[in-house]
Every structure is written in structure tokens, then in C-alpha cells.
Amino acid sequence: GADRSVTNWGGGNTSAKAHEVDFRGVETRVLYVKGSGSDLGTIRPEQFTALRLDDAQLLQNRDSMSDEDLVIFYEHAVLRPGQPRASIETPLHSMLPFAHIDHTHPDAIIALCAVPDGPDLARRLWGEKAVWVPWQRPGFGLGKTIAGAVSERPDAECVLMAKHGLVTWGESAEACYAATISTIARAAEALAERADRRRVFASAAPSQAPNERALLAALPVLRGAVSSRQRMVLRVDTSDAAVQFASRPDVADLAQAGPACPDHLVHTKPWPLVLEPDSVGAEAIRERVAAYEKRYAQYVTTCAGGTEQMLDPAPRVVIIPGIGIITTGPDAGRAKIADDLYQRAMAVLSTTAGLGGFAPLTREETFGIEYWPMELYKLSLAPRPKELAGRVALVTGGASGIGRAVAVRLADAGAHIVVADRNAEGAAEVAAALENSNGDGRALAVHMDVTDERAVESAFAKTLLAYGGVDIVVSNAGISTSNPVEATSLDEWNLNQRVLGTGYFLVAREAFRVLKAQGLTGSIVFVASKNGLVGGRNAAAYSSAKALEIHLARCLAEEGGGSGIRVNTVNPDAVLRGSGIWDSGWREQRAQTYGIEPDQLEEHYRARTTLKVNVVPEDVAEAVLFFASDRSAKSTGNILNVDGGVAAAYTR
């Protein structure tokens, strides 16, 4: 599983036969086989299904069995309850007599099994030691076919399945693995010799670097176009292999050949969308995606005759010559899976292109796999989507205090998080913690000084390259100073205006640009302050800047409404815990203003509230989530105070 040129993500299966004492205390022959939906690269022992081998082998006496009956049969044959569903390819593991069996989808074998003269090439390489099996959908029938063919060839060492993959075996795990690797190596060597080059799957470096400006312009438009039914996350692959494949003169034809391996279909669809260099403008992208969806709908209608509910018709793989490969998915993890799988497809298609062409599955065979309930079952194993599934949220000032709490809360609700902060190390720590809790690719740390126009643009560019766009922007980065007006310097005044005014403007402006390009709804949330509504004694610079934020949000709400962009404000007050602001001298300054000691400040703020409570970062994060989510889909230009109740700040 570590080498994806040997095993696809989630594809292939392995098994071992052994003896185990069951719950009755009786020694029982057991077949351990990979459970459906697990991945050989990360599989754990509990993800293998243990079946009573004597029961499983009774299938050999049957002539036929439906997929549904096969699933029920294995549910009764399990050694213990609560195990994963057995792989649909379990019949070949139970019907073959060998102690250890590997079924894989190696690039070299897939290529060999997909060229027109594959059977002849296999015969020249292995003679009678390789069994060639024509295409047959996995399940009972294929297992029966393989078992019968191998029983007639006692000297056979492997099975080559047309358009599918490889089966090898051995009396030990080591022997089985060695057989798998040696068979793959022999196929790769033969293909390399035939293609008259040393490395059949090698990729030369592209002639020039991808056009990043064009890519950044295309990404939000493409994300919006493929997200009409559900929010999608994009993954950008500008590796040498991706750019070279995308830039092939024949890529438009080659990419339409069909799936390189049946296991790819769940994540890549039957064919990718190829955007020609002259079709990467906004309108052209939208038109090409719409045309793709129409073609996909026709494919489903033709093959199903209206009997199947169509899956999301948007492309999962997009090829842009000169730029590379972009994959899409409901989350970053599944977009990466699509990319990993298409990397394998690129290798196979590139190889077969020089060896007589690629013999794909027919349209009907392709549909039969893509809409096969046994394959769709794997999708059902994904966790239920959370409230912010598929959304990308950028949080400024995300390294500490309120910003960190907001990042954690939005991530818990299913969003992908961009942690933006001047404190790059702190942002990286928060992003790492979020990925540890939510999975790889779920968070990104970016350096952002909100007062620096180029830094803001760069942070959004990194967001686009990581996820394709953004849906939620939380402006939270802040600063505070406290001085009587006569002691307030121009530098102090300008600093507050620059961070709290200009900074919020620059972030909002860049957010508007991305959100409008996407053409999807979006939410911008300003974290302002009670001081924006109530004059703060000895805090004119800070309070005035916070009032600026609140009114800027109202103005932006008016501008964004027609594009479905909502802009709202959360007004916290006296959030001391975890705050960099309160640890920067603001605590002492405010305590001096109120004539109390710094350690009395928290109680002072609690006592002055109507509810007699202290406000913590998590309280503010809940309010931000409300405005960020569809719960407030019909709310814009509004203010939500999170202050425990400060009568002077009641909005009117």
C-alpha cells in the first residue's frame, strides 16, 4: 500500500488463511480478507474481516449468486459480529486454495492488460504460468472463473485480469509479496523494452513553469462551477508528471479513453474535463463545466434508462494544458484521493499510448462499475457531512485568543481552515493541531499582516492554491491601545486605524474578489467590539476604529447582497482569556482607567454585565459560527453582541 504504483487508494485486497479458536473454544479454519472500503496503505488488523473458511468455501458448490445474496451469505459466515463488510472480491480468496493471496492493480499490469495484444504479450512473458481472464465484473462470477481456470493450470503462478489487475499467491506472506513484486517488475521491464526507453513510467520535466497567474484566476471560477450541487474542495497538482501529461499534444483524445482501472471510477468519473488554453476564461470555464455535466447526464440516461438516480455530474478531474491537473472532492482528503488515482491513470495512459493504444471498458461496462451498489457502498462509509462540509474558512488573527477559538469551532463544524496571522509560528501550531484532530489537509497556516496589501493578496493566493477558493472569511486580527485623547499620539491613532480599519478593508476586498469569481454564496464576519457602539473612556483611537469596522460591515452588506455575500458583525467585550491584546499592556491600561488593580479587571467586567458572566473565546466562536453557517442565511448587515449584556451597547 505504500507504493501507489502497486496498489490504488482503497483498491485491491489481500487475504490469509489460518486457524483460530472461536467463541465456543473450537479451533476453526479462518479466512482473513480486507474489508470493503479500507485502504491497504493504512489498513489496521480490525479492518480485515474474519470469515469461517469452511462456510465461505461452500460457495464453490454454487453455479451463481447475486451480489446481494453474496453480501448476506458473508454476514452469516463471519467469525465474530461487528466486523467490516467483506470485500466483494472475497470469492476469489475463498475459492483459491492458497494460504496467502494478493489482488492488486499495479500500473505495469494494468497497462499490459489494457493493450490490444495483451494476451499475446502475457503468453510470451509467462507462458502457461500466467492465467489470462477476460474482463468480468468483480464478484461471485469472477471468483468462480478464476478458481476454475487456476485449477486447470496447476503450474500457474499468477492471474492477469483484462482491464482490471493481478492476482498472485504463496504459502507465506513473504512468498506472496515476492510473487507480486516479481510479476510487476517483469511486466514493467517488458513494457519498457517494447517502448524502447528505460523507464516506462518516467516523466520528463516540463519545458516551463505553470502559469500561476492564469491558475489563480481560474481556480475560484472552476470551484464555483463544480459546486452547483455541493461545495467542493479543489486540489492543484502542478508536479512535473501532471504538467507534462496535461501538456501532451494528444491529451484531449488520450484523456477521453476511459478509466484506467475500474476502482478509479468512484473518485474520478469515467473521463476528465480538458480545458484548452483558450478556454480558461471565466465564461469559458463555466460553459465547459456545464457541457461536461450535460454529457455525463446523457451517459447516465443512455446506460440506465432512467432507472438510476444520477450522482453529482460535475467533473472530478480537470486537465489544463500548461498548468497541470486539478481534482475535486467534497473535502480535501477525497480531492487528494482523486489526484492519487489519476496519477496512476496518467502513467497507464501514457504507457499504452506508445504501445498500440488503450483498450478501455465499454460505456456499459463503465456505467456498470460506477453505479454498482457494491462500489457505491464504499461511499456510504464516509462520515455524515457536518454543517460546514465542503466549506473553506479563512480566519485572521487565528494564532491565539478569539481567532484560535473560531478556527477550532469552524473546523469542528466541518470547515477547512486557513489560519492567518502575523505570528507564523503560532499559526502553524494551530493548523497542525487542527489537522491532528480533523485529518490531513484540513488546515493551512499562512503568514498575513493585514496592513500589508501584498501580504493579504499572497495569503488569499495560497488559500486558492490549497483549496480552490474560500466561503467564510472571519476578520479578527486586532490591536488595542488606551490613552486619554490628549496623550494619544498620531502614530497610535494611525496604528489603530491601519490594523482595525485598513486591515479589515484589505481582507474584505480580497474576499469579495474571490467570492464573486466563485459565484457562490459567502459569509464575511467582522469581530469588532462593544467599544464600536459605546464610547470607551481613554480609548478614542481604538473605539473609533472599531466603529469604523461596524459601519464598513454595513456598507459591504449592501454591496454584497446581490452576489449572495453576507457581511455581519460580532461584538465581544472583555474577552481576557488567551488574548494577545490583553497580555500586551491593555490590561494594565484599562485597569488604570477604572482605578482598580489588573487582577481585579475580570471581576469588574463580570459584575457590570446584565447576566453577571464573563465572556470567553469559545462564546464568541459560537456567534461567529452562527453567522458563518446557513443558520443565518437570511441575515446580513447585523450585529450580534457577545458581552454578557452591556445595556449601553444594546443595538437600536
Q: What is the DSSP string of 43-55?
A: --GGGEEEEEHHH
**499 and 636: one domain?**
yes
Q: How many CB atoms lie within 10 A of CB 523?
A: 27
Catalytic residue among 32, 371, 542, 605: 542
- Cα–Cα distance measured from residue 80 to residue 58, given in angstroms and rounded to the nearest whole number: 19
Q: How confident is the model at residue 305 (pLDDT cuts 50, 70, 90)?
A: confident
What is the span of the domain harbouring residue 326? 212-380
In this predicted structure, the answer to whether residue 208 has a pLDDT above a threshold of 60 is no
Kindly report the CATH number assigned to the domain that includes residue 319.
3.40.225
Q: Does 397 lie in the same domain as 373? A: no
Same domain, 364 and 401: no
Residues 376 and 424 in one domain: no
Pick from 182-196, 266-280, 427-441 the range whose average pLDDT is largest.
427-441
3-state secondary structure 527-552: ECCHHHCCCCCCEHHHHHHHHHHHHH
Beta strands in 5-76 (DSSP E): 13-21, 27-34, 48-52
Tell me the longest C-alpha to C-alpha distance in the chain. Answer: 99
d(CA 558, CA 609) in angstroms, rounded, equals 32
Share the mean pLDDT of the chain. Answer: 91
The stretch 498-515 carries a mean pLDDT of 98
Domain assignment present for residue 538? The answer is yes
Which of the residue ranges 202-206, 269-273, 356-360 would you say has the lowest mean pLDDT? 202-206
Q: What CATH number has the domain bearing residue 421? A: 3.40.50.720
The reply to whether 595 falls in a domain is: no
Residue 135 belongs to domain with CATH number: 3.40.225.10
Mean pLDDT confidence for 4-9: 78
**3-state secondary structure at position 28:** strand
For 364-373, letters b (16+ CB in 10 Å) and e give ebbbbbbbbe
Confidence grade of residue 201 (pLDDT, cut at 50, 70, 90) = very low
DSSP designation for 419: E
pLDDT band with cut points at 50, 70 and 90 for residue 199: very low
| Same-domain status, 433 and 572 | yes
Confidence of residue 72 (pLDDT cuts 50, 70, 90): very high
Same domain membership, residue 129 and residue 83:
yes
- The predicted-structure confidence for 619-630, as pLDDT tens digits, reads as follows 999 999 999 999
- pLDDT at residue 113 greater than cutoff 80: yes
Calpha distance 516→398 (Å, rounded): 24
Q: Give a yes or no: residue 599 inside a domain.
A: no
What is the average per-residue pLDDT within 582-602? 71
Rg (C-alpha) for the chain, rounded Å, is 30
Check if the beta carbon of residue 238 is closer than 8 Å to that of residue 210.
yes
Q: Is 386 a domain residue?
A: no
Query: What whole-number distance in Å separates Cα of residue 46 and Cα of residue 41?
Result: 14
CA distance linking residue 560 with residue 472, whole number of Å: 13
Q: For the segment 163-194, what is each residue's pLDDT rounded down to a tens digit?
A: 889 999 999 999 999 999 999 999 999 888 87
| 386 close to 417: Cβ distance less than 8 angstroms | no
pLDDT one-digit tens code per residue, 377-421: 877 777 889 999 999 999 999 999 999 999 999 999 999 999 999
User: By CB neighbour count within 10 A (0-12 exposed, 13-18 middle, 19+ buried), where does 606 fall?
Assistant: middle
Catalytic annotation present for 542: yes
- 172 and 306 inside one domain: no
Question: Tens of pLDDT along 140-164?
Answer: 999 999 999 999 999 999 999 998 8
Q: Is the pLDDT of residue 480 over 70?
A: yes
